Amino acid sequence: MLKQYGIPFTIPAAGYGVGDDGQVYPSGMPEGVEGINYPAGTGPLFTEAGRAELGITEEAPPPRPDDRFYWVNGLRPDNTWDAAPKGLDDLRKVAADQVKQQRQVALDSFPKSSGIGEVYAENLKAAQAVQAGNGGTVTMRDGSTAEAFLGHMAAGMGIPVPAFAEYILAENTAAAVNAREIEAEYVRLVYSFIPACTFEQVQTVADEYRAYCQARTA
């Protein structure tokens, strides 16, 4: 959109005049006023430098309203968007669905298969035995002691068995806490926050929960 000294300006479609004082006359120079007449499509109004000398600048439109939350009909002549907010109840439902989907994605990042679950359970059992000082007496499913069970993996990491046991316990604790936090925040949002949230809040809640989950599954 063109503006001259802050006022919307339209380039004339026909011949026009420019006074010595910089005034643009869309119908040509009035009698008795000093200036120059230009044929249609020529003169200072049709070059960037010429418009700049006359105080005419290009003003970009403001950012388009987000189509996820607004019905956008187009740009008005005054360089503002003709847009109307979508229904809040419908937006709340969409936000709740997005939060539910993100919750599933986040929780699916934790071990789910029975095979992986057994490995994690055996590792945890062995680590708990080693930390309790029973690594040499607790027998694992494969018949080895807890200390021997962890020994092979600890060697692969180049650390002592007690240090590997501490690592396993810390990882299991963190995973359990993270999963619990993801679930608790999901329940709060879907059953308490979103049903009563404002139009401004409904625009950010799903993205904020996504970031919340990503921080706990990274």
pLDDT, tens digit, 9 for 90 and up, residues 41-68 = 999 999 999 999 999 998 888 999 999 9
- Partners of 85 in beta bridges: 70
Mean pLDDT in residue range 55-84: 92
Q: Report the half-sphere exposure of 79 (CA within 13 A, side-chain side).
A: 13
- The string of pLDDT tens digits covering residues 144-202 is 999 999 998 888 889 999 998 888 888 777 778 888 899 999 999 999 999 999 999 99
pTM, two decimals, is 0.59
Cα distances (angstroms) measured from residue 146 to each of 33, 95, 111, 135, 141: 102, 47, 22, 5, 10
- The string of pLDDT tens digits covering residues 98-135 is 999 999 999 888 765 555 566 778 888 999 999 899 99
d(CA 44, CA 6): 19
